Amino acid sequence: MTQIEAPKADTAGLSFVEWGAVFAGAVLAAALSFVLLTFLTAIGLSTTSPWPNSGLSTRVVASLAVFWTMAQQIGSVMVGGYVAGRMRSRWHEKGHEAEFRDGLHGALVWAVGVLISAVLVFATVGVVARTGANVAATVTGSVTSSSGGMDAILDTMLRQTNTAQAGAPTAPTATTGAPNRGGGSEDTRAEMSRILAGSVTTGSITPENRTRLAQLVSQRTGVAQQEAERRVDDAVKAARAAADKARHAAILTGFVTAAGLIISLGAGWWAAMRGGQHRDTSVPARFTFDRRRMPVS
């Protein structure tokens, strides 16, 4: 008797990567991540309050935001990786090879999700930073030229010392027709803002710019030249402190983001392998409790 072997399937030129399962897991992970981030916004608003001695502190809220951001990122990739691993078709591989291919599909879910997020971020921002110097300049410029930080510094510099002078109405400027704000016209404030931003970016302020700022402060507020120079020095220190605080926040954000991405990669790989194991052993995916499987006390 002769034994006839079944012809082996020719797998030459075939890809073992099933992009349908990968994209399905990536889309599910992205949707789940969006929902969880929406919950984060609602939770953050509920923990803060404008009233004194109420709500959580800023540090606690920031810690909760970091934890929730990492948790939702890792959990979303785990769900997407599990779906990709379970939906992948099993070939003729066995043992570790099957686990590796399942895990690889989970890693591809993570990679597709990261690429989609990066494209959305760059499309929203509209600017791609090419070098580390551009990133640092962007962070410094965004802080020193923001309407919140820089305007507060300029208001302190141009604050009137005379109560009667401060309460008097200000006349409109000749260029914009808008009333003076804080003792200085919009053009004056714009010039002072540029000088302060340049001093923070370069790390020092030239004597010419320092004298110019002191003259503008003295003209708008009526204080002595020595007092105006003191205000300028305090403003430069405040602008540098704000930029340094923003730099530390950017560093922390970068480390947290990188750590979350690395952990989510491992989580997606592990979840895809678990999905492959459940596929091979036909473990049902249950979303409700089965009373028949509950232990009897």
With a cut of 70, say whether residue 189 has pLDDT above it: yes
Mean of the pLDDT values across residues 279-290? 69
| 113-149 exposure pattern, b = at least 16 Cβ within 10 A, e = fewer | beeeeeeeeeeeeeeeeeeeeeeeeebbeebbbeeeb
With a cut of 50, say whether residue 163 has pLDDT above it: no
Instruction: Compute the distance between CA of residue 46 and CA of residue 37 in angstroms, rounded to an integer.
Output: 14
Instruction: Compute the distance between CA of residue 260 and CA of residue 22 in angstroms, rounded to an integer.
Output: 20
Instruction: Compute the distance between CA of residue 248 and CA of residue 255 in angstroms, rounded to an integer.
Output: 11
pLDDT tens-digit map of 142-151:
444 444 578 8
| Residue scoring higher pLDDT (194 or 14) | 194
Contacts of 224 (CB under 8 A, 6+ apart): 218
pLDDT for residue 297:
45
Contacts of 156 (CB under 8 A, 6+ apart): 231, 234, 235, 238
Tokens of 13: 């030129």
Comparing 17-21, 29-33, 124-128, 243-247, the range with the smallest average pLDDT is 124-128
Q: Is 10 left (phi over 0), alpha (psi -120 to 50) or beta?
A: beta
- Give me the chain's average pLDDT, please: 76
Instruction: Compute the distance between CA of residue 175 and CA of residue 187 in angstroms, rounded to an integer.
Output: 8
Q: Is the dihedral of CA 36, 38, 40, 46 positive or negative?
A: negative
Closest CA to 70 of 96, 47, 40, 109: 40
Q: What percent of the chain has pLDDT over 90?
A: 15
Q: How many residues does the chain have?
A: 297
- Provide the β-strand partners of residue 184: 181
Instruction: Compute the distance between CA of residue 22 and CA of residue 18 in angstroms, rounded to an integer.
Output: 7
How many Cβ atoms from other residues are within 10 Å of residue 260's Cβ? 18
pLDDT tens-digit map of 64-113:
888 888 888 899 999 999 999 988 887 766 778 888 989 999 999 999 98
